[in-house]
Chain A
Amino acid sequence: GNSVTQMEGPVTLSEEAFLTINCTYTATGYPSLFWYVQYPGEGLQLLLKATKADDKGSNKGFEATYRKETTSFHLEKGSVQVSDSAVYFCALSVLNQFYFGTGTSLTVIP
């Protein structure tokens, strides 16, 4: 079947620290992979995506590389800011169906 496994949070980092949020997946077929961000009280916003193996998605300093050999799509940012505090969801899409991870809460402290 199709599923996404995300590292459990919450994650607390100091400003300017390096961030990694692990995400692995299982999928039939050829999925597209996504990271969404949810700020408090809001809906989901697309952060970045990758549609095929070895693609790198990037946005706002965040990056993730579609690794087919390890079925992973880890989210990274070199220097986090307080404004990055949010919940991050890894997701895959195959045959127009979306599957979400459980979300990882990130808090960045000054």
Chain B
Amino acid sequence: GAVVSQHPSRVICKSGTSVKIECRSLDFQATTMFWYRQFPKKSLMLMATSNEGSKATYEQGVEKDKFLINHASLTLSTLTVTSAHPEDSSFYICSAQTDRGYNEQFFGPGTRLTVL
């Protein structure tokens, strides 16, 4: 149980275009989902926390208008990178917390974004 999927696993796009990444909890309801960004050989940087039906809470330094997060349902959150630039190229990982109040996050497999 507690499986989280991400789609797509890899995406290559041109500079200036927008890319949407989906994060789904497959067998549980996720009241809270998290989006992380991982730079090469670095740790995970929390970008934002999203709760179903409300606006995401962004970490300091993360541009809200560039990284749009929508938590449309208890099983789906999306991250849209708008007007992507090469510096947005990174590995994006989502995680989800169950509605059972257990202090644990379940991670998706990640999405590799390359902006040309």
Interface bracket on A: 20 to 34
Report the minimal beta-carbon distance from B31 to chain A, rounded to whole angstroms: 10
10 nearest interchain CB pairs? A43-B109, A43-B110, A44-B107, A102-B43, A100-B43, A43-B107, A32-B103, A100-B44, A93-B103, A43-B93
**B103 and A45 form a contact (CB under 8 A):** no
Among residues 40 to 99 in chain B, which have CB atoms less than 8 Å away from a CB atom of chain A?
A: 41-44, 46, 93, 95, 97
Could you say which of A42, A98, A103 contacts B109, with CB atoms under 8 Å apart?
A42
Q: Is the CB of B110 within 8 A of A42?
A: yes
15 A–B contacts from the bound complex (CB under 8 Å): A42-B110, A43-B110, A44-B44, A44-B95, A46-B106, A46-B107, A49-B104, A51-B103, A93-B103, A93-B105, A98-B34, A100-B43, A100-B44, A101-B43, A102-B42
Q: How many residues of B contact A (CB 8 A)?
A: 20
Interface residues of A (CB under 8 A from B): 32, 34, 36, 41-46, 49, 51, 89, 93, 96, 98, 100-103, 105
* Total A-B pairs, Cβ < 8 A: 45
Of A45, A51, A89, the residue contacting B44 (CB under 8 A) is: A89
Q: Is B25 an interface position by the 8 A CB rule?
A: no
Main secondary structure, interface of A, reads strand
Given known A-B contacts A49-B104, A51-B103, A93-B104, A44 and B93 have beta carbons under 8 A apart: yes
Knowing A43-B6, A103-B42, say if A98 contacts B110 (CB, 8 Å): no
